[in-house]
Amino acid sequence: MLEVDWEKWFFNFEAASQESKKSRRPILLQFHRVQCSGCRKMYAVTYPDPEVSAELYQWFVPLRLDILKEHYIRSSYSAVWTPSFYFLDYRGKLLHSLPGYLPPEDFRIVMRLGLAAYHIPRGKYSEAIEILTDGLEQFSTNPRAATLRFWRGMANYLKTYDSQQFREEMLEIQETYPNSPEARMWPWEDR
């Protein structure tokens, strides 16, 4: 059975922040607590997955903090649930977050969204588009695929300001994922 490689994790915010600044990788903070069944499942199923661990260690500085002991940091992000995931820049600025256990495929999608949330405000639209497109190619039938597609459309629009391209992306979301929240985000008056 595979296990989590805890030697690659940080357990101190300041140390993770320094590594994030040095390596230019965002921080992926997971809050946990001892009696958390979702956390135990993350450690037994999700993190040991070879694809999850390869992407996690390549793209992020992984940080694990006890939600009951890290009061100041917990309150900074209004964290109340475990496991919960917070994507941060090296200064601790929140970029994206999500509470709850995630199986490997869903976690890989959420990591792509977190990485895109890191790239997009920095004007690295091509990098965000590439990682989101990769996610859509791998996970097109996952319920979270509509979110990948919306974010990709957003990054494409910010890169090109081509509203027709964004409109086409939104049409594709409505056709492919008609029951998704993203399908309801049609901003134009003609529908």
Cα dihedral 118, 122, 124, 125 sign? positive
SS3 130: helix
Domain positions in the chain? 1-102, 105-191
Q: Say whether pLDDT at 188 is over 90.
A: no
Q: Whole-angstrom Cα distance, residue 21 to residue 11?
A: 16
- Please report, rounded to a whole number, the percentage of residues in the chain having pLDDT higher than 70: 99
Mean pLDDT of the 125-149 span: 97
Q: Tokens for 97?
A: 């977050």
**Given pLDDT bands bounded at 50, 70 and 90, which one contains residue 137?**
very high
Tokens 């917990």 belong to 74
Residue 2 has pLDDT above 80, yes or no: no
52: pLDDT confidence band, cut at 50, 70 and 90?
A: very high
Classify the phi-psi angles of 25: left when phi > 0, otherwise alpha if psi is within -120 to 50, otherwise beta. Answer: beta
Mean pLDDT, all residues of the chain = 96
Q: Which of 110, 105, 114, 103 is nearest to 38 (CA)?
A: 103
CATH architecture of the domain with range 105-191: Alpha Horseshoe (1.25)
Residue with tokens 């590594």: 19
Q: Helix/strand/coil (H, E, C) string of 81-92?
A: CCCEEEEECCCC
Query: What's residue 1's pLDDT?
Result: 56
Under CATH, what is the fold of the domain 1-102?
Glutaredoxin (3.40.30)
Amino acid at 96: H
Q: Residues 37-45: what's their mean pLDDT?
A: 97
Beta bridge partners of 84: 31, 99
* pLDDT single digits (tens) 145-178: 999 999 999 999 999 999 999 999 999 999 999 9
The DSSP call for residue 184 is: G
Q: Is 28 helix (H, G, I), strand (E, B) or coil?
A: strand
From CA 166, how far away is CA 154, in angstroms rounded? 7
